[in-house]
Structure 1
Amino acid sequence: MTVDSISLIVSSLLTGVLGLVFWGAAGRLYPAEEVGVAAAVITSALMLSMLAMLSIDTIYERFLPLAGERTGFLITRGYLVVACTALVAGAGLVAFGPREELFESRWAMYCYPLLVMVLALFTLLDKTAVGLGVTKWSAVKNLIHAIAKLVILFCLVWTGSGASIVLAWGATAAVGTVLVLAAMRRRWRAHEQFRQPASLPNRPQLLSYIGSSFGITSLWIIGPLVVPLIVVSRFGAVANAHFSVTWAIINALYFAVHLVMSPFVAEVASHPDKVAVLSTRMVQTMAVVSVAGALGLVLIGPFVLGVIGPDYREQGGGLLDLAAIFVPLSAVSAVYEGFARVRRKLTLMVVTRCLSTFTVVAGTLLITPHTGVIGVGWAYLLAEAISAVILLPFVIGWLRRVRSGVAVDIPA
């Protein structure tokens, strides 16, 4: 798990840095209003794409190591379901969402569902790679995408249009999806592991796991989906540009923290006898990433925002300070979720995520009228603190049991 975790973390951090360069370049080269609109479009599409995955990605992460000869069927069927769901979700936002704020033309509205579909499949590749035992592919894919979209952004700077920013992100993701999926197809057809008989749980157990996982994902997505829409509608596109660039830095650490969990879940599924060692190692890795990331937010983040523009540093500095507290707190939830997934007992995680989501959305609505955009940071801090208080005793209890040699139930 160490090699896989390190590759994912390094890739996530490099991707985050390049993502910041992407938004920083957009902020300097494109009009702020265009950046704000493009950021809202891309962010909402990313969040809808994660909902459209229906938590099938968690099935791949947890059960592809056990799927054997059924691997190809599960992947093909899952990708078709996700593609159709993403198209419907994108069309739904076009029909019922804030069209005037998000879309500058009818062409943009027509293309939006396709963007959601591409991003859903592109993201689904990550945990598919984990389940297939090629985690490094995910790391390389994300890094190349980060570089490619930056190159396209520079090539289209002459347009000065937010649509060019969206195109740079979406077109490169589409090409990457096709290439990586073709490589994965060769992997599951040729590797001996995926020619063995399947040892999957029965259908009711799989559906129960999917339902709980989808509940967790849906609740987690609501905040990142709704908050940018609140910001752009309440404070305008320019304020959303400042918020989005700052949040790109924060998201890099958020994803690095939560990515540590994926290799852990896949490794325990394959080697349940090593759960004590893997659990300890995962917690140690999570702690290092969280502390180092928090220091980076405080020490490096403001400087980076200042390079992009003094207005970005002025508007985003406070959010970075708050994120240096609430992102490490989120590590407690990530650790517990990893433990819950290997046991296939996700009820408490669903309840906690529901409470956290309500706190983020309600807090943003109630606090931002008095504090401005920084109120989003206070809402997230409150939400992560509540979750950490609830889940920390269970994390400690799990570690004590596995370290003392007490048998724990690790279902297949």
Structure 2
Amino acid sequence: MPPRSEAPAVTGAYDRAAGSEAPAAPVEEGGALVHSSLHIMLATVLTGGLGYVFWALAAHRWAAGEVGVGNAAVSLATALSLVVHLGPAALTIERLPRHEGTDGWGARLWTALVLTGAVSAVVAAGAVAVGRGTDAVGPAVDTVTGTVAFVVGCAAWSVMNVLIYTFVSLRRSQLLSTQNVAISLLKLGMLGGLALTAFGGPRSILVAWAASATLGCVATLAWQLPRAGFSPGRPRFVRPGLSGLRSAAGHHLTSAGGVLTPYVLPTLVAALLTPVDNAYFALTWLMGSLFFIVAPAVSSALFAEGARGADLPVATRKAARLIGILLVGPAVLMLVGGRFALSVIGEDYAREGYLLLVVLVVAALPDAVNNVAVGVYRATGRLARSATLNLGMAVVTIVGTVVLAPRVGIVGVGYAWALAQSLGMLASLRDVVRVLRAPASGPVAAQEVS
């Protein structure tokens, strides 16, 4: 485990809003990993399913080229947000538990929220200046409305994800589920309303995405956290220490390698192939990515339990069993029924995307091993190793996509992804097995995972 930081300078109770409810009883340690994992997965499944409806609605309302541009713009804004918020957000899991019940908890949360939101807005504004002249995203951001939606949405996405990590830190992942589903429903409703207008496909998609995230952040800070008894109170800030900056950098690189690639790929596909190809790729990837939610969710819960001093070998064995139970059945079901699921969107989507979907489902096995390894590395403070693993797989995926996609089409992205995950599994399997075989004697020391 990484060393604990010094005690907070200010002590006291949580800021409690008038009329707020008492905090719910914390989840007991024995069931916290399962509880957190299941709620993270539930949130991802529900939002993924609603996302499927969102893009299906867009595909039926607008031409594939317009959907491809809208998807590329949303993916780019999300990728820029990830570049900014991943480190500070993951640091909340490591550091916030040390300040629960003190005024320092709210100060640290406000610091993360304001910094990530402001930096994300600045980065997004720069991206708009460059992207306006491109065919990939230009039609979505070439107006004032599109520009504002892109910048505000990028900042709101960063703030929202810091709040999501905060829920995981608090072992209140049920709040995460509520937040994500509400935002997804709001996004879907907004798109449905815009679909009845002549506003335009790419901008409608971008505005619905940005507005729903913004309203979700406001509702979480003003209502959801206070009613649960965890209001951050008035804005106040702390200066990050050197150890915090180092940890944030390690978590940032780890998370960037793990989650940034799927958001870069749509823009890359649109540039290497066509917006129409990107529409086929994006909706197929959305469906296939349902098999990449189990292991990352369990990995995050494993990291959170490690940050609280849980018995890591026991938690890792529980994580591995949970992944196996939840992954096998849905994978078989998708291999059998995936073509039909794609055909609901359109026969062209089924014809162009089914082979890619099969490759993604098969790649879920090495992806599971790699995510368990990342959870172990983070829990034992081996951030250099977790960052190297994830960044290495990201590089292989992107380079492989550049080489293969122009030759074999969108399935080349799946081949590149599967190759990267397989190489990562070869590099990390030994460490995972070592922890799985370790006796239940408390947290595994960092030097034991080498």
User: What TM-score do the two structures reach when normalised by structure 2?
Assistant: 0.83
Structure 2 SS opposite 1:264: helix
Aligned to 1:96: 130
Q: Which stretches of structure 1, 4 residues or longer, exceed 4 Å deviation after superposition?
A: 185-191
Give how far 1:186 is off. Answer: 5.9
Structure 1 SS opposite 2:402: helix
Q: Distance in 1 between matches of 2:119 and 2:273?
A: 31
Deviation sequence 1:70-103 (CA, Å, 0-9, x none):
1101000111110111012212322334742202
- Which one-letter code corresponds to 1:151 in the other structure? G
Which of 392, 397, 401 is equivalent to 1:364?
401
Give how far 1:167 is off. Answer: 1.7
Structure 2 SS opposite 1:92: helix
1:114-133 aligned within 5 A: 114-133=152-171
* Alignment check: 8 A CA contact 1:223 1:361 kept: yes
* Alignment check: 8 A CA contact 1:402 1:408 kept: no
Aligned to 2:15: none
- Which one-letter code corresponds to 2:372 in the other structure? V
Kindly tell me the number of residue pairs found equivalent between the two proteins.
400
Give how far 1:221 is off. Answer: 4.7
Structure 1 SS opposite 2:134: helix
Q: Distance in 1 between matches of 2:279 and 2:35?
A: 36
**Residues 188 and 262 (structure 1 numbering): CA distance in 2 closer, same or farther, change over 3 Å?**
farther
**Residues 296 and 150 (structure 1 numbering): CA distance in 2 closer, same or farther, change over 3 Å?**
farther
Aligned to 2:365: 328
Check if 1:154 corresponds to 2:180.
no
Aligned to 1:4: 36
1:128-207 aligned within 5 A: 128-158=166-196, 159=198, 160-182=200-222, 183-185=224-226, 187=228, 203-207=241-245
Structure 1 stretch 160-169 or stretch 325-334: which is displaced more? 160-169
* Alignment check: 8 A CA contact 1:43 1:225 kept: yes
* Alignment check: 8 A CA contact 2:149 2:206 kept: no
Deviation sequence 1:151-186 (CA, Å, 0-9, x none):
222222123522112222221111111111223256
Q: Distance in 2 between matches of 1:184 and 1:254?
A: 28
Deviation sequence 1:201-247 (CA, Å, 0-9, x none):
x9443222211111122333553343222211222211111111111
Structure 1 stretch 226-235 or stretch 120-129: which is displaced more? 226-235
* Alignment check: 8 A CA contact 2:404 2:412 kept: yes
1:10-89 aligned within 5 A: 10-68=42-100, 69=102, 70-89=104-123
* Alignment check: 8 A CA contact 1:48 1:225 kept: no
* Alignment check: 8 A CA contact 2:313 2:442 kept: no
Q: Distance in 1 between matches of 2:45 and 2:259?
A: 21
- Which one-letter code corresponds to 1:114 in the other structure? V
User: What TM-score do the two structures reach when normalised by structure 1?
Assistant: 0.90
* Alignment check: 8 A CA contact 1:64 1:71 kept: yes
Give how far 1:113 is off. Answer: 1.6
**Residues 35 and 14 (structure 1 numbering): CA distance in 2 closer, same or farther, change over 3 Å?**
same
* Alignment check: 8 A CA contact 2:272 2:405 kept: no
Give how far 1:410 is off. Answer: 7.6
Q: Distance in 2 between matches of 1:410 and 1:358?
A: 26
Check if 1:386 corresponds to 2:423.
yes
Give how far 1:268 is off. Answer: 2.9
Q: Distance in 1 between matches of 2:439 and 2:219?
A: 41
* Alignment check: 8 A CA contact 1:260 1:282 kept: yes
* Alignment check: 8 A CA contact 1:326 1:384 kept: yes
Check if 1:314 corresponds to 2:314.
no
- Which one-letter code corresponds to 1:237 in the other structure? P
* Alignment check: 8 A CA contact 2:169 2:304 kept: yes
Check if 1:408 corresponds to 2:444.
yes
Structure 1 stretch 255-264 or stretch 231-240: which is displaced more? 255-264
Which is richer in helix? Answer: 1
* Alignment check: 8 A CA contact 1:127 1:262 kept: no
**Residues 71 and 186 (structure 1 numbering): CA distance in 2 closer, same or farther, change over 3 Å?**
farther
- Which one-letter code corresponds to 1:348 in the other structure? R
Which of 253, 257, 282 is equivalent to 1:215?
253
Give how far 1:110 is off. Answer: 4.3
**Residues 145 and 173 (structure 1 numbering): CA distance in 2 closer, same or farther, change over 3 Å?**
same
**Residues 190 and 145 (structure 1 numbering): CA distance in 2 closer, same or farther, change over 3 Å?**
closer
Q: Distance in 1 between matches of 2:214 and 2:443?
A: 45
Any stretches of 5+ residues in structure 2 without a counterpart?
1-32, 234-239
* Alignment check: 8 A CA contact 2:82 2:260 kept: no
Aligned to 1:199: none
* Alignment check: 8 A CA contact 1:39 1:244 kept: yes
Structure 2 SS opposite 1:73: helix
Q: Distance in 1 between matches of 2:332 and 2:126?
A: 40
- Which one-letter code corresponds to 2:138 in the other structure? F
Q: Distance in 2 between matches of 1:408 and 1:230?
A: 40
Any stretches of 5+ residues in structure 1 without a counterpart?
195-201
Q: Distance in 2 between matches of 1:311 and 1:17?
A: 20
Give how far 1:119 is off. Answer: 1.3
* Alignment check: 8 A CA contact 1:65 1:270 kept: yes
Q: Distance in 2 between matches of 1:369 and 1:65?
A: 47
Q: Distance in 1 between matches of 2:260 and 2:286?
A: 17
Q: Distance in 2 between matches of 1:218 and 1:124?
A: 14
* Alignment check: 8 A CA contact 1:103 1:109 kept: no
Structure 2 SS opposite 1:408: coil
**Residues 262 and 218 (structure 1 numbering): CA distance in 2 closer, same or farther, change over 3 Å?**
closer
Q: Distance in 2 between matches of 1:50 and 1:230?
A: 16
Instruction: Give the alignment's Cα RMSD to 1 decimal.
Output: 2.3
Q: Distance in 2 between matches of 1:253 and 1:103?
A: 32
* Alignment check: 8 A CA contact 1:40 1:228 kept: yes
Give how far 1:343 is off. Answer: 1.0
Give how far 1:36 is off. Answer: 0.7
